[in-house]
Structure 1
Amino acid sequence: MAEAAALDMRPAGDAKPRLSVRGLHAFYGESHVLHGMEFDVSNGEVITLLGRNGAGKTTTLRAIIGQQRNRRGSILFDGIETIGLPARQIARMGVGYVPEERGIFSSLSVLENLHLPPALGAAAVSDDEIFELFPNLRERLDSQGTKLSGGEQQMLAIARILRAGFRFLLLDEPTEGLAPVIIEQISRTIRILKERGYTIVLVEQNFHFASSVADRHYIVEQGRVVDMVRADALEQNRAKLHKYLGI
């Protein structure tokens, strides 16, 4: 199998990457999880990290946002090296993270969850815009987090980082366990955000969903990127994707 360093992981065109990950290693105690992750993301692009469970996809997001402290290598965001920065400083650069467990405050209402994070200047999305993207939330403003369905919790988690003004989004398994109608609503939201210039990194197991929204797909195995497939080349690479992902 080709090593990641030998693969062309760059986006199409000559645009300077918004995010550039090089030689990224990460550890949980003595366990070596990431083994030289390398990939780029351009401004306004949606990319996915695809791979089987345990491949290192979530750890990669945690390393980018600074929650995975035991990491080394290079993570350039807008040309600034962030590998040694704490998570709060990376967030202030405009990087928003929705973890797999969603991370909403279960004892707070929908409105309180939305208004809790401080807004990052003019990039903050208004409440009215939030409710256009997620009409369900308007009807549940006074409901506590514990009273929301899984889909409503996911909508709220995404809405919260949009209202806070993040324009570079890290979304970990946003469709896991959700009904098809909710998955379609999240898919629609991601397409709208892409049209508005947001940059999004998705970790996904649902390949059908990922293929409907992403520009490129990075294949992750054993803590490294082993291949990259562009959206316009999915059909001719279906056999290869089946081998990697079992789809």
Structure 2
Amino acid sequence: MLLRLEDIHTHYGKSHILQGVSMEIRKGEIVGLLGRNGVGKTTTLNTVVGFVKPSKGRLIFNDRDFTSYPCHKISRMGIAYVPQGRHLFPQMTVLENLKTGMLYATGGDGLDRVFDLFPNLKRLLDQKAGSLSGGEQQAVAISRAILKNPEILLLDEPTTGLMPLFVNSLLEIVRRLNEEGMTILLVEEKVPFVLSLSHRIYFMVKGRIEHGAAKEDLVERPEVFVDYLGVRP
């Protein structure tokens, strides 16, 4: 098992956000995490990367307990995160943003791999990141993350604000990263996007994982999506 969350509880002040979250992600999988707004999906990702510390439970990566690790140490372990909103440095150039992803890189093909995935970035290297379109900014954010050559990539709402054409391109890029060996944990509100990519899907309700199943099983049971999301796939 590559990544395991065991009975994770988190609090923001007095608010009990995650209430016993347990998940498993195997090496080479794409795992989707679905749920309505505000149920704790982003908090789950923030907990994995160390932005939020659990009040109870354990985080295990490659059989190592990293529950108490600081963010920079978690990143060096091989866990990369593309947060919702991209969180680029808007006044820095594309190249400068990309270089921040190379600080703790462990091997990999560097910028050549990025340009192979996102060839348009090559002509944008000297532009300020804040001047780019939503799709271009997402390309920079994903590129910055994969420059670390992580074992697992966490994606939080990667299609937010993107035109349909770029959503389709992003789907193929995520699929390609997985085919090349990268494990991915995907939080996304577009159910067809998640179904197209994921091997397994977890459903979160009010800070708890209420259901998890292989994609093949869920395709035959659209009522599960209605029960937990209020929509049909």
**TM-score, normalised by the number of residues in structure 1:** 0.90
Q: 5+ unaligned residues in a row in structure 1: which ranges?
A: 1-16
- Give 2:2's match in structure 1, choosing from 18, 21, 38: 18
Residue 82, structure 1, aligned to residue 66, structure 2: yes
8 A contact 1:100–1:172 mirrored in 2: yes
The letter for the 1-side match of 2:218 is: L
User: Structure 1 71/135 Cα, relative in aligned 2: closer, same or farther at 3 Å?
Assistant: farther
**Which secondary structure state, in structure 1, belongs to the residue aligned with residue 33 of structure 2?**
strand
1: CA distance between counterparts of 2:111 and 2:162?
24
The aligned length equals 230
The letter for the 2-side match of 1:121 is: T
Any residues of structure 2 matched to 1:164-243 within 5 Å, and which? 164-243=148-227
Range that drifts further, 231-240 or 195-204: 231-240
- Give 1:121's match in structure 2, choosing from 106, 116, 119: 106
| Cα shift at 1:185 | 1.2
Of all paired residues, the percent bearing the same amino acid is 38
> Equivalent residue for 1:67?
51
2: CA distance between counterparts of 1:49 and 1:215?
11
1: CA distance between counterparts of 2:185 and 2:197?
11
**Which secondary structure state, in structure 2, belongs to the residue aligned with residue 49 of structure 1?**
strand
Range that drifts further, 135-144 or 73-82: 135-144
**TM-score, normalised by the number of residues in structure 2:** 0.95
2: CA distance between counterparts of 1:140 and 1:210?
29
User: Structure 1 77/198 Cα, relative in aligned 2: closer, same or farther at 3 Å?
Assistant: same
> Equivalent residue for 1:98?
82
The letter for the 1-side match of 2:88 is: I
> Equivalent residue for 1:153?
137
The letter for the 1-side match of 2:105 is: L
Q: 5+ unaligned residues in a row in structure 2: which ranges?
A: none
2: CA distance between counterparts of 1:176 and 1:151?
9
1: CA distance between counterparts of 2:146 and 2:34?
24
1: CA distance between counterparts of 2:150 and 2:55?
24
8 A contact 1:125–1:164 mirrored in 2: no
